[in-house]
Structure 1
Amino acid sequence: MKKITQAAIALSFIVCIFLFASCYKSSGDYQSPSQTPTQTVVKYTISSSSGNVTVIYTDKNGQEVTVNNVPPTWTFSFTADINNQTLKLTVIGMNNTVTVGGTISFNGHQIAQNSSTSGTVTVTTIVDRMHAGY
């Protein structure tokens, strides 16, 4: 009987060690929903096969901004609290034979892209954090 009691105590001790060891707290990678940042990083990227272009994009306040003489490869990013907002990126080449393209990324994930060989392209998307999954 004494051996069974000692074995039960030893087994209980080992089980407790495994239980406590499995309750390890990670290095802080997890954030509860109340700690999750509401800031969103939006990134516009354009390309052109020839020469500078005109770019029209939606800024962090929802306003259209026009930039002329943009080089053939261009990237612009901003951080803002954006949700349920339409983002638009238009690339206009210097003539109608230029191949142009544009992408919109949201928190590092490409969410919209388009290209055209007619010199003009528009990319439009609605940012909805709740359904985007990132």
Structure 2
Amino acid sequence: MKAKVTLAEFVGTFYTTPLFKAERLVLRCVGIRSSDHDARQLAEGASEHFAAWQMTVRTETELLMKAIGRTSSWFGIEHVGDTTAPETRLLFGSVVAPKPSAGQGIPQMGPLFSGLLGAHRTYSKLLLMSARRRING
């Protein structure tokens, strides 16, 4: 990505893309409301929560968000290049943790989560690409 991008710019842009706004609409249907203003507050560090997510860890270059349930999202930026040609690598990860099992069994994803994992991966990539396109103008 050309240009020097801050974590706040990345997170704010990510959560306000048209694609993510569609997710926010779905969340609104289950009573979880959020706005672009809320996204900017989180991005700028003025809030520790956004929609269904709660900030877990934040540094100058990384943000880890835990959602209600078993999902978490990670944002990162990496400045590469030099002062004459600054570039920023945008990084995003999303995880769905396995369901804790009773006793000493191995944690399981469950059939619903396992079946949706491919779609989750694709959606995560589309979200990152959407944010990148908006930042690049």
The TM-score, its normalising length taken from structure 1, stands at 0.28
Question: Highest CA radius of gyration, 1 or 2?
Answer: 1
* Larger helix percent: 2
* Larger strand percent: 1
